[in-house]
Structure formats: structure tokens, C-alpha cells
Chains A and B, each alone.
Chain A
């Protein structure tokens, strides 16, 4: 019995380990962003989107994900970047946050990256660019910089 318990504990630890400090990185206009992997459910290719009236422009509409209806946000429009036609690289990252399931349209998805806490720093204070407010922190891996997304603000900031 106790053996089993230990086994379970080990699994829990492993489970935590697998998502801790890991980020799914994606690109918009060649800028690299990261999103905490624990929010990510799956990545799908772009599909038919049904437009919904009277919604903000970044909310592109709803999609049918195997029978469940989920809203999708175009990250480009959310960041106030010009719209770009979707192509074969365009992906929808399906995330779940506080019981909301939302799809995020990005130019392309890169990889899952491990960015240890010590490599993550707060963004510089000067708010030069508008998009800054959706960025929680900045992760540095080698010479590369990943802008880590603040999911809460990304979804809910007016």
C-alpha cells in the first residue's frame, strides 16, 4: 500500500515537473512569444471560423472543435498589428484559463521551451509599445528573447 502511495507521489512530482517553467513559443511578425504550457490544451491548424456580430474585432468568431464551440482570438489584432491572411503555417493554440476555453490564432508555432525561473525577468518599465501590457515577463534563452504572455490580460483586458 505504502509503495503504491509513493509511486503516486512520484507521478505527481513528475507531472509538476513536466509543465513547470515550460513555455510554448509562437511567432507573430517574427517576434517570439511564449505562453505557459500549463494553459495550453492543444494546437490545431486554422479552420473555418464563424463570425459573431457585435464583438470586438480581435475576436474572430467561433469554431467547432469536435462538437464544442470555442471562441477564437486573432493575436495579431489583439496586439494591434495589421491583419494578415491565414496560410498553411497559421495555427490556433487552444488554451484553457479559469474555465474559459479560447483559441488563439498565431502566425506559427515554434516549440516547447524550458526557461528556468532565473532566466525570466520583468519587462522594462518604459511602456514604449502598446503590446507591452499583455507581456508578463521576458525569458532569455541564449541570445534569444521570448516575450511571455500574461494570459489573464490577454483574454480580459479591455
Chain B
């Protein structure tokens, strides 16, 4: 107990809770139109877990709130009432979620969780009794609860080898398994005993010394079992145990075993029937006792024939239900047929071959199973990322239904996930960067210049290849799908619709697109502001929409897709569009115009909405109108090196286009020389490089230089002019042109010479230096020199 550290438990608690709450919110929003049974079960389970965890960490207010919500969903689950006011229900549950979220923020900040949930609990209760009234089940319901629950509980009773250890005089034996990688199993076991100590007595545990270091391993591998006496009923004890945090599965045993008899046939030609039979028995041993089988010596070769002919006969005792056992047995590989029956006693064994409702269509079941497996396989690559798809987080702390217990078991092999501290990944990435530089320093070492090093070069290439692979792996570990960020937006749209009286549907496309974790953090805020804008300013009121001949329900499309080295995120609404004139006037008022009025194109005017303090909304609402939002968007997007543009058609809608680099860290660059310095240009923006002849160049009356290439005309930017630097190479024919592409526009950049391609680790410019146009960051070269990375976009917006 001495090293029972609440701190790290707290960390885990907060992490777990945040995941749960996020998932909960998604489920609730999805279910607003009507919850499916699965949703209700899931919400119920999550609420239950929250309740348990919070109670364990002594956050009573959170626990109580979750409890009241849990009650509500328990009722929905058991009674399945019709005509539920889902909208009110959703509001109510969201309020609960908000309350919990709020408390979590406080806990995270190290403050006391002091929110008072009385009000919300009262309202949940009121709603529940209203529901009960409607469903025509008055007070009875309360009494009914204990009746329905045991039914479910009984099925979870799993007899297994512990039964052998059932101590004389002990009423119960329980076996607990914690989630893998939950850490501190021994402390958790100890906490469990502490929690139970008021109800149970005469406890013996395996391992004996719970808090000893060695027991941690034992509990991890073999589970934590303990026998005890208690006045509590079986159900009450189940309930208590279920509150354990990170509970993976538990078995509580009180007594009676059932005896089953089975005959099993394998598919013809599957070979090695005896070994297969042995495997079946081996699996049975996990949860059954007193196993008898015929032939007795399955390992013997002769057994193969017998099994082939007569089938494999065996009997065993277990506390599991018939359904559970048959489910287990049906998962046997190459199973052809199975007869399973419950027999009252060992003595009845000879009794009959009375085929109790068996011989199910195995084929079909098996098909389904393989299908399910395949589906799981398909899912797994998606889920293998840092942030852990909610699915895996969702592991209910307690399984009330045997079905879910079974599916859990099957799913287990595909869950190869661990959660990693993002700090460690950042560190790994930094080291990766160092490694890339060190590799360049070594293989391009000046000492090697002019030497014939065939073998060295070969090894160097191999090293480079491996480093590249490692780098790709490190990068992929940091990729997280946008789905959580996107689904958060559902909530925003929903709340706004309610408050503004609008009807808007948020359509999400491509949410599985993956982006670097660091970038995702900067995306949430901008997206929120853009979507707010779209709903608040863009989408009109339903009657206006009707008058304009549009469907009353507005649509906001949130789409993400990969495009080269970038992720493009599009927020598109079918609202009223931007009022160009109004924006222009506002921009004029705010003195933002920098060139003659007539020269502004519609597109350029639209970009003004990203300027701070410019809001065309005349009245300030709770959502927007202060002119801050789009400025925040701009800043955040700039931090991650992205761009944003807006397109709009009056009356047709507005489209915001965000372009975000996939990753911040390492890019392919073209190293070029200009003046005395070396610059890096991202390869992704380079279309081609070429030398030009003097006759290709001409100058327009304003002094702008242009170049003709294959019949097209391109603008020329001389890099030294652009940066006001000095360069000896000024003659067009001495230098090199690099054709840069950005959003379909092209520019030819004139530089001194090309040095070569190189992978570079992007470092941000020190914050002391203000943002420089045309520079996006810098990188270290093999020799330790700094090379500035050119921001291609800078050459296009003038």
C-alpha cells in the first residue's frame, strides 16, 4: 500500500475518462434520431464505467451524475419504451456529459471537483419518471429491476479450475482479470479488496501477498482470485466487482455446476483428429472441470480412427450456460457437427443420445464467424495508430451479457494496441531527425571527397534505406485519423441548430484520413470556427431557404482527403454565400485596401474575411460576429504551415478550403544555391527545372520579366530580387530555373545553381524572428550549416 500512487492512477483515470466521454458524446449525437439497442447498451456501459471509475477516485458528483444517466439508459434498455422524446433525452444526457467534462477539466487542472450535480440529477430523474409513466409501468419498475438483472448475471457465472480451490466454508470465489497494460495490477487488486472489505470477510487471496512485487506478474498472467464469505447476494457482489477500474473480465462462483455431454465430429480430410481433439480438451480446461473423454488417450495414433468414425465424445462440468458452452465449442476449427446436451448427473451419462435442440446449421454459423473475422481484419490496420480508435477504448468494464463476453474473447487477438505518451513519440521523432542529419553528416563527410569507396557507398546506401524505413514507421505511428475531430463538429452543429432555430445537416466525408498528431491539435479550433460561421452566417433560416427555392434543411459538408503531401479539408455550405460588396466596404472602412479598388477580384475580396476584426455580421451573436473567429483560423492554420482559401457564390453557398501538410517534420527538399547561401525548396512544389536561353525571356512595360516555354508564358521571380540579397549570377543563361506550382498557378524561380535532392528535417524559425515572406522554416545540412526552407506560396500572393 505504501507505494499506492494516486497521481499516476489519476493520470490514467483522466485519460480513460476523456476517451469515454468523447465516445459517449458521439454515440449520443448519432442517436438523437432514435437510439438503436446497441447504442443504448453502449451508452449504458460507458456510463457504468464512468460511474465506477469516478467512485473509485472519490469523485462523488461525477459518479452520481453518471449513475442517474445510467438509470435512465437501464430503463431504456430493459423496457424499450416507445415514443421517447429523444431530443429532450439527448439534451439531458449531453448536459450530464458536459457536467462530467467540466469536472474532468477541473480535475486535470489539479483543482477540486466541486460541481454540484443535484439539479441535473433531479431533472434526469424527473425525465425518467415521466418515461416510466408513459410506458405505463409505474412503481413496479423499480421492483422489477433486481429481477431482470440476475437473469443476465447468471449467465456470466463461469466455473473453472478455481472451483477446485473453493475453500471449505467460503461462500464465494472470484477471479478477476484486469485489462492488459493497465499497469499496477497489484495495486488495483488491493484497491478492489479495500472497496469490498465492508461486505466480505474471511478473505484468502491468490497470490497471497497482493502488494508484493512478484504478484503483479501473477495477476497479469493468471488473474487475481480470492475466496471469501459474504452476506451479500450473488448479484450484489457482481455489481460491486463490476465497479473495478480496468476490469477485463471477472468470474464469480458460488456453487452449482452443470454437467454437459458432447459428441464432436471433425470435417473429413482435416487430418490429425486426435491432436485437434486434444486442443478442444485443452481449451475446455480453461473453464471446465472433471473432463472425461473417449477415447481416453487422444494422443495415441489409434485415437484418430476412432474419432473419425464415432466422433469425439466427452463430458465435463462447468457453471457456464448451454449457449456459452456451445458457442465456445462451435469455434473449434474444422468442426463438422456437434451434439451438445446438458445432463443432470454423471450417472446419466449413458442415458441417451437425446439430441437436444442441437445440430445447428454449423455451416452458416461458421460462415458468419469467418465473415466477422474478416471484418475485424479489415479494421485492424485502421485501428493501429496512437490515438486508439474509440472502439478499443470502449471495452466495457463489465460484461453483463454472455454474448459480449464471447465477442470480447474473439476480438482479443486483433487488439494489438498500446497507448504511448505523446512526449515519447515527440522525442522519438526528434531523435529520428538527428539520425537523418547524422547520416548525412557521415555519408557526405568532406573527408570522403574524391575517394573511391565502392564498399562504403554500398553500405551507406543500405543504411540510408533502413533509416528511411524507420522514419516512415515513426511517422506512421504519429498518424491519427480525423474522425474524432470531425465528429466533435456534430455536437457544435446540433447545439447551434437548437439555439438558432435552423435545420442543418452535417455531412462528414473522408473522416478516416490520417494526419500527424501535432497537426490535429491545431485543427480542432479552426474547424470549429469555420463550421460556426457556416451555420451562423451561411445557412439561412428555414423559411428564407424555402423562399429561395432551396430545401429547408441546410447542408454543411465536411470533407477530408489526401492530395500529394497535403491533406485537403473542405467545409462547404449551401447557404447564402458571401456578400462581396459588404466585405469590400468593411475592408475599406478598416483600411485594409492596399491597391486601387478596381483591381480587386472577387476572390481577393473574399480573402478579407480572414483579417482580424472584420465581421460583416451586424449583430454579435453568441456564436460569431466579433470578427475574431476567422483570425483564429488563420493563425492556427499558419502554425501548422497550412493555407486556407475561401470560394463563394452569392446565394449558392461558401466553400472553405484548408490545405494542411501531412506532417511537420521531415520533407523531401531540393537544395539550391543563391548568393552565398543554400536554400531548400520542397520537392512537392517543384514541377521541373531547366536552363533557359536569353531569347525566351521578355519584359513587359512594367518591368516584369516573363519566359516562354513550350508555348506558355510564365512569370519569372529572381530569388535574389525577391529577398533583396546579392548574387553574382544575374545572367539568365548562367543560372537555373525552377518551375514552382501552387494551386494550379506557376512561377519560374531563378536561382544560381542546383545542388541536389535531400531529405531535410524541418525546424521552425526562432519565434524572435517575425514571419518572413517566402520562408517557412529552416533545416540543418550535413555540415551543420543552416539552410532556409522556401515557402513556395510566398511567390504567388502578391
Binding site for B on A (CB under 8 A): 48, 50-55, 59, 62-64, 67, 69-71, 99-102, 155
| Complex-state Cα separation, A67 to B438, whole angstroms | 11
In the complex, what's the smallest C-beta–C-beta distance from A13 to chain B, in angstroms? 28
**A64:B775 contact, CB within 8 angstroms:** no
Binding site for A on B (CB under 8 A): 434, 677, 722-725, 763, 765-770, 772-775, 778, 780, 784-788
**B774:A69 contact, CB within 8 angstroms:** no
Name B785's closest neighbour in chain A (CB-CB). Answer: A48
In the complex, what's the smallest C-beta–C-beta distance from A100 to chain B, in angstroms? 5
A69's contact among B724, B770, B773, B778, by CB below 8 Å, is which? B778
In the complex, what's the smallest C-beta–C-beta distance from B324 to chain A, in angstroms? 57
User: Which of A59, A62, A63, A100 gathers most chain B CB within 10 Å?
Assistant: A62
Residues of B contacting A51 with CB < 8 Å? 677, 725
Residues of A contacting B787 with CB < 8 Å? 50
| Complex-state Cα separation, A85 to B434, whole angstroms | 33
| Complex-state Cα separation, A155 to B724, whole angstroms | 24
**B769:A67 contact, CB within 8 angstroms:** no
Name A66's closest neighbour in chain B (CB-CB). Answer: B784
* Known A50-B787, A50-B788; further 19 A-B contacts with Cβ < 8 A: A50-B677, A50-B785, A51-B725, A52-B772, A52-B775, A52-B788, A54-B723, A62-B765, A62-B778, A64-B780, A64-B784, A69-B765, A69-B786, A99-B767, A100-B766, A100-B767, A100-B768, A102-B766, A155-B768
Chain B interface, DSSP helix/strand/loop, else mixed: loop
In the complex, what's the smallest C-beta–C-beta distance from A102 to chain B, in angstroms? 6
**A50:B786 contact, CB within 8 angstroms:** yes
Residues of B contacting A100 with CB < 8 Å? 766-768
Name B434's closest neighbour in chain A (CB-CB). Answer: A67
Residues of B contacting A70 with CB < 8 Å? 766
B780's contact among A52, A59, A67, A99, by CB below 8 Å, is which? A67
**A53:B725 contact, CB within 8 angstroms:** yes
Residues of A contacting B765 with CB < 8 Å? 52, 62, 69
In the complex, what's the smallest C-beta–C-beta distance from B138 to chain A, in angstroms? 63
Name B763's closest neighbour in chain A (CB-CB). Answer: A69
Interchain residue pairs with CB less than 8 A apart (22): A50-B778, A50-B785, A51-B677, A52-B765, A53-B725, A53-B772, A54-B724, A54-B773, A55-B769, A55-B772, A62-B766, A64-B786, A69-B763, A69-B766, A69-B780, A69-B786, A71-B766, A71-B769, A99-B767, A100-B767, A100-B768, A155-B768
Residues of A contacting B785 with CB < 8 Å? 48, 50, 64
Name B676's closest neighbour in chain A (CB-CB). Answer: A51
In the complex, what's the smallest C-beta–C-beta distance from A9 to chain B, in angstroms? 25
Name A54's closest neighbour in chain B (CB-CB). Answer: B772
Chain A interface, DSSP helix/strand/loop, else mixed: strand
Residues of B contacting A62 with CB < 8 Å? 765-766, 769, 778, 786
| Complex-state Cα separation, A54 to B778, whole angstroms | 15
| Complex-state Cα separation, A67 to B435, whole angstroms | 12
Residues of A contacting B723 with CB < 8 Å? 53-54
| Complex-state Cα separation, A99 to B677, whole angstroms | 28
In the complex, what's the smallest C-beta–C-beta distance from A68 to chain B, in angstroms? 8
| Complex-state Cα separation, A14 to B673, whole angstroms | 52
B768's contact among A48, A63, A102, by CB below 8 Å, is which? A102
User: Which of A55, A59, A69 gathers most chain B CB within 10 Å?
Assistant: A69
| Complex-state Cα separation, A20 to B784, whole angstroms | 36
Name B777's closest neighbour in chain A (CB-CB). Answer: A69
| Complex-state Cα separation, A51 to B785, whole angstroms | 11
Residues of A contacting B722 with CB < 8 Å? 53
**B769:A52 contact, CB within 8 angstroms:** yes
User: Which of B767, B768, B773, B774 gathers most chain A CB within 10 Å?
Assistant: B768
Residues of A contacting B724 with CB < 8 Å? 53-54
| Complex-state Cα separation, A70 to B766, whole angstroms | 6
Name A50's closest neighbour in chain B (CB-CB). Answer: B786
In the complex, what's the smallest C-beta–C-beta distance from A22 to chain B, in angstroms? 25
Name A59's closest neighbour in chain B (CB-CB). Answer: B769
Name A47's closest neighbour in chain B (CB-CB). Answer: B784
**B775:A53 contact, CB within 8 angstroms:** yes
Residues of A contacting B786 with CB < 8 Å? 50, 62-64, 69
Residues of B contacting A53 with CB < 8 Å? 722-725, 772, 774-775
| Complex-state Cα separation, A51 to B726, whole angstroms | 11
Assess A101 versus B769: contact at CB under 8 Å? Given A53-B775, A54-B724.
Answer: no
In the complex, what's the smallest C-beta–C-beta distance from B562 to chain A, in angstroms? 30
| Complex-state Cα separation, A52 to B768, whole angstroms | 12
Name B773's closest neighbour in chain A (CB-CB). Answer: A54
Name B764's closest neighbour in chain A (CB-CB). Answer: A69
Residues of A contacting B772 with CB < 8 Å? 52-55
Name A99's closest neighbour in chain B (CB-CB). Answer: B767
Assess A71 versus B768: contact at CB under 8 Å? Given A53-B774, A63-B786, A64-B786.
Answer: yes
In the complex, what's the smallest C-beta–C-beta distance from A105 to chain B, in angstroms? 15
- What 5 A-B pairs come out closest when comparing CB atoms? A53-B723, A50-B786, A71-B766, A100-B768, A54-B772
Residues of B contacting A71 with CB < 8 Å? 766, 768-769
Residues of B contacting A48 with CB < 8 Å? 785
| Complex-state Cα separation, A71 to B775, whole angstroms | 15
| Complex-state Cα separation, A62 to B772, whole angstroms | 13
| Complex-state Cα separation, A63 to B785, whole angstroms | 8
Residues of B contacting A101 with CB < 8 Å? 766, 768
In the complex, what's the smallest C-beta–C-beta distance from B2 to chain A, in angstroms? 16
| Complex-state Cα separation, A52 to B724, whole angstroms | 10
Name B437's closest neighbour in chain A (CB-CB). Answer: A67
Residues of B contacting A52 with CB < 8 Å? 765, 769, 772, 775, 788
In the complex, what's the smallest C-beta–C-beta distance from A56 to chain B, in angstroms? 9
| Complex-state Cα separation, A64 to B784, whole angstroms | 7
| Complex-state Cα separation, A62 to B778, whole angstroms | 10
Residues of B contacting A55 with CB < 8 Å? 769-770, 772
Name B724's closest neighbour in chain A (CB-CB). Answer: A53
Name A101's closest neighbour in chain B (CB-CB). Answer: B766
| Complex-state Cα separation, A64 to B725, whole angstroms | 21
| Complex-state Cα separation, A155 to B767, whole angstroms | 12
In the complex, what's the smallest C-beta–C-beta distance from B769 to chain A, in angstroms? 5
Residues of A contacting B763 with CB < 8 Å? 69
